[in-house]
Amino acid sequence: MVIRSDDRTDPGARSAAALALADDIVARALASGATEAEALVTSEDAALTRFANSEIHQNVAEANIGVNLRFCVGRRVAVAATGRTDEAGLVALVERAAATARGVEELEDWGGLPGAAGGGPSRPSAIGYAASTADASPEFRADGVRAVIAAADAAGVLAFGSFATTREGIAVSNSAGIRAAHERTTSQLLTVHMSADGGTGYAEAAATDATTIDAAAIGREAAAKARASEHPVSLPAGDYPVVLEEYAVLDIVDMLGYLGFSALAVQEGRSFAEPGRRIGSELITIVDDGADPAGLPMTIDFEGVAKERVVLVERGVCQGVVYDTQTAARAGRASTGHGLPAPNPYGPFPLNMLVDAGTTPRESLIGGLERGLLVTRFHYTNPVHPKLAIVTGMTRDGTFLVEGGRIVAPVRNLRYTQSYLDALAGVAAVGRERRTIRGFLGSAVVPALRIDAWTFTGTTEH
């Protein structure tokens, strides 16, 4: 059986073909001695237009199919993967998985594969799918890039970046009754603008429907930052009140999801998350919701379980964490639909986080600083103390001194070492607008934040 990831049929037909393939693989595994079996079929049709020095220099596209087989013999669990869907490829896949299962140790706390009761729908919903993105042409992306470059030209700066459009599919079948599929589309336009005098500016947008991205606005935002950040001044290290733009807030949300909002982190004693523990101001509510159209929805996980809406933090107080099937079995509860492809030593992660918007206009966020810093984004961030969520990193692409509620000067980038929990506790205002942004844990929908204090530990030369 062959399935093409670049098949331009409707998403329902693609999902039906992927599920039929997954069903076939499960049947082959059971016939080869598996007591339980799970087949995950992933497909991707991705295209990317890159630009540098205000010129498009590359357009690339790729189509991929992946098949992941979890082959269980009692408590012995093996995983094999392939990119082949022809007969010989499937035979080899099952043979490898069966041979591996005979040689691995038993998992003493193996809870079994998820059952049909928690499974998602076998036909994908329309949530998170836009035909305009699936069918986006190189010319469409080039038009968006031209708008970004035009904004750079108008400001006398150079534009660098990429515009990506992607169709993704997941189909899962297992011997316990799961048959679930989801198709989605994603798009991301990001750019860094650079001036001859050392200024840099960043802007980004992500969306299910690529036609909703305002490329010209993204270009103007980055160009204005690049001009405004020329000839930065140096500031001494210390604690400063800050306004973090959405790109910087994304790093906080992603890092907290990675460090603490996972059931595995809790079970291993390395998470800060405890039900009822206050970790933020009352202005902060964070949820994970794979069906919220504000983000980049995916309604099932990689085990075929329907994603639940999980409240992680409500008005500053820890509530829940996310589970996959294995961590849920250890806790004596059901999965929340946050499993990753097997084998997965990392545990479940929240991949669709949303932070509640506030009521403060952007100009009032800055207006509330008597003396502090406006930060566009962070980079090279790494955890120092996971349980305390202490992170080190640097500012990038637009850091500004604010005095009397007004931006007065660009600032050289600063290094920081900061507890992200202390940062949440110090949130004094939340922006009323939110942005959808891609992060390393998936997507997030976040507002800008004003925080009472941020600990900067050093300066840089740039």
pLDDT > 80? residue 7? no
State the pLDDT at residue 119: 78
The residues spanned by each domain of the chain are: 11-194, 232-462
Q: Tens digit of pLDDT for each residue in 186-212?
A: 999 999 999 999 999 999 999 999 999
Task: Give CA separation, 108 vs 78, 112, 114, 182, 293, in Å.
Answer: 14, 11, 17, 32, 40
State the pLDDT at residue 5: 45
Greatest mean pLDDT range, 113-117, 251-255, 343-347: 251-255
Q: Tens digit of pLDDT for each residue in 15-25?
A: 999 999 999 99
pLDDT > 50? residue 433? yes
Alpha-carbon distance of 359 to 357, in angstroms, equals 7
Alpha-carbon distance of 435 to 250, in angstroms, equals 10
Give the mean pLDDT of the chain: 95
Q: Tens digit of pLDDT for each residue in 208-241?
A: 999 999 999 999 999 999 999 999 999 999 999 9
Q: Give residue 11's pLDDT band: very low, low, confident or very high (50, 70, 90).
A: confident
The closest of 291, 261, 161 to 219, measured between CA atoms, is 161
Give 59-67's long-range contacts (Cβ < 8 A, gap of 24+).
Answer: 59/138, 59/141, 59/142, 63/4, 63/5, 63/6, 64/5, 65/3, 65/4, 65/5, 65/41, 66/40, 66/41, 66/42, 67/21, 67/25, 67/39, 67/40, 67/41, 67/42, 67/93
Looking at per-residue pLDDT, the higher value among 403 and 123 belongs to 403
pLDDT > 70? residue 30? yes
**Average pLDDT for residues 84-96, to the nearest whole number?**
97
Alpha-carbon distance of 191 to 215, in angstroms, equals 10
SS (H, E, C) the chain: CCCCCCCCCCHHHHHHHHHHHHHHHHHHHHHCCCCEEEEEEEEEEEEEEEEECCEEEEEEEEEEEEEEEEEEECCEEEEEEECCCCHHHHHHHHHHHHHHHHHCCECCCCCCCCCHHHECCCCCCCCCCCHHHHCCCHHHHHHHHHHHHHHHHHHCCEEEEEEEEEEEEEEEEECCCCEEEEEEEEEEEEEEEECCCCCEEEEEEEECCHHHCCHHHHHHHHHHHHHHCCCCECCCCEEEEEEECHHHHHHHHHHHHHHCCEHHHHHCCCCCCCCCCECCCCCCCEEECCCCCCCCCCCECCCCEECCCEEEEECCEECCCECCHHHHHHHCCCCCCCCCCCCCCCCCCCCEEEECCCCECHHHHHHCCCEEEEEEEEEEEEEEEHHHCEEEEEEEEEEEEEECCEEEEEECCEEEEEEHHHHHHCEEEEEEEEEEEEECCEEEEEEEEEEEEEEEEEECCC
Q: Give residue 10's pLDDT band: very low, low, confident or very high (50, 70, 90).
A: confident
Q: What is the pTM of this model?
A: 0.95
- Those residues with Cβ within 8 angstroms of residue 396's Cβ, 6 or more apart along the chain or in another chain: 200, 202, 376, 377, 378, 379, 413
Q: Give residue 1's pLDDT band: very low, low, confident or very high (50, 70, 90).
A: very low
Looking at per-residue pLDDT, the higher value among 5 and 461 belongs to 461
Q: Tens digit of pLDDT for each residue in 140-187?
A: 999 999 999 999 999 999 999 999 999 999 999 999 999 999 999 999
Alpha-carbon distance of 311 to 261, in angstroms, equals 10
**Average pLDDT for residues 243-260, to the nearest whole number?**
98
State the pLDDT at residue 9: 54
What's domain 11-194's architecture?
2-Layer Sandwich (3.30)
Q: Is the dihedral of CA 111, 441, 337, 421 positive or negative?
A: positive
Structure tokens at 80: 């094999």
Backbone dihedral angles phi then psi of residue 283, each to the nearest 5 degrees: -80, -5
State the pLDDT at residue 462: 62
**Average pLDDT for residues 259-265, to the nearest whole number?**
97
Q: Is the dihedral of CA 311, 312, 318, 322 positive or negative?
A: positive
Burial class (CB in 10 A: 0-12, 13-18, 19+), 88: exposed
**Average pLDDT for residues 28-48, to the nearest whole number?**
98
**Residue type at 1 in one-letter notation:** M
Q: Tens digit of pLDDT for each residue in 321-338?
A: 999 999 999 999 999 999
Angle subtended at Cα 445 by Cα 443 and Cα 449, rounded to the nearest 5 degrees: 130
Backbone dihedral angles phi then psi of residue 149, each to the nearest 5 degrees: -65, -35
Task: Give CA separation, 336 vs 154, 304, 319, in Å.
Answer: 49, 11, 14
